Copies of this chain bind each other. A is one copy, B any other.
Amino acid sequence: MSMPERIGTIREAINEALREEMRRDERIFLMGEDIGLAGGVFKVTAGLQEEFGPERVRDTPIAEAGIVGLAVGAAMTGARPIVEIMFNDFTTLASDQIVNQAAKLRYMTAGQCKVPMVIRTGMGAGRRAAAQHSQSLHAWFCHIPGLKVVLPSTPADAKGLLKSAIRDDNPVMVLEDKMMYGQEGPIPEGDYTVPLGQAKIHRKGTDATVICTSSMLYPSLEAAERLAEEGVDVTVIDPRTISPLDEEALVNSAVETGRVLVVDEGYESFGVTAEIAARVQEKAFYYLDAPVRRLGAADVPVPFAPSLEDLTIPSADQIAGIIREMME
């Protein structure tokens, strides 16, 4: 890709994608709590109300179910709403509207309507925000047919995937790791899109594959570096879109290396790592040298104390440790 790039943060990348898309398409509007005047609690929407006005960058009351409900109705009638739900934990308040309305309307009506909307929300632990402000509940959304689920891990992907999500005619959940808003990297300028449903190989190795999502990319890359020093050559691959999943890319890598570890920041049990592991073992069974391993967040509500919280989040140490076990 020969697009001009600049270095910027994920926060900036998202802001840029929103701005460019809103300029491109008048039907797009944003709604959420404190996204306008205050620019969002994570400052992701800063400056947008100034450019697009309070109608299109709309501060709402604190009413998550209502916000999503209005977005569904607006999307059905030709608008293209982008909703911000501040913390992923709060999407539980809008579950009915997401699951029973947004996700199902197209199918239930046999295609008579579409619901082109995006819900952006902040996932991830690490901010010492405790159990009600730290969850990564993307497995929930992935389980629901009719939703697409996107987890960017780099500024470029944050921009490119969000643009694709906005242009998609389905409800798309975009989960942004709150610890990564300041993550820097190249951001392609202009109309840069990343298609939904395409994994990205960040590092190519021959001995093992780490499939990792969102912020788990970074400890995975770090573990891969360390293992490289030990002579273990690791592929690191990020599905980027979790639903629909780029199964082919993941299985191909499993076939190549024969060893797979899946890393994700949702609770480990009944989470995203389970689905990926189950698919990989099924499709690559005869090529595997070891069982597919998984590493998710600890199966506990996220504790506040930093000394405890850090233990719940998958680390480079753990990742490297598991790969070493698998190499035995």
The interface of chain A, by Cβ under 8 A from chain B, is 65, 89-90, 92-93, 95-96, 98-100, 103-104, 107-108, 130-132, 137, 139-140, 142-146, 243, 266-267, 269-275, 277-279, 281-283, 285, 288, 290-294, 299-301, 303
In addition to A142-B270, A281-B281, 10 A-B residue pairs with Cβ atoms within 8 Å of each other are A95-B96, A100-B132, A104-B132, A107-B300, A108-B301, A140-B140, A143-B267, A143-B271, A145-B301, A282-B293
Residues of B within 8 A of A143 (CB): 137, 139-140, 266-267, 269-271
Q: Which 8 A-B pairs have the closest CB atoms?
A: A285-B291, A92-B95, A277-B278, A95-B95, A143-B270, A274-B274, A92-B96, A142-B270
Residues of B within 8 A of A98 (CB): 92
Residues of B within 8 A of A96 (CB): 90, 92-93, 95
Contact A281 to B291, CB < 8 A, known contacts A107-B301, A300-B145: yes
Count of identical protomers in the assembly = 2
Residues of B within 8 A of A282 (CB): 277, 291-294
Residues of B within 8 A of A283 (CB): 291
- Measured CA separation A183–B104 after assembly (Å): 30
Of A90, A100, A137, A283, chain B has the most CB atoms within 10 Å of the CB of A100
CB of A88 to closest CB in B, whole Å: 11
Closest to A90 in B: B96
CB of A68 to closest CB in B, whole Å: 11
Are A292's CB and B301's CB within 8 A? Answer: no
Residues of B within 8 A of A303 (CB): 107
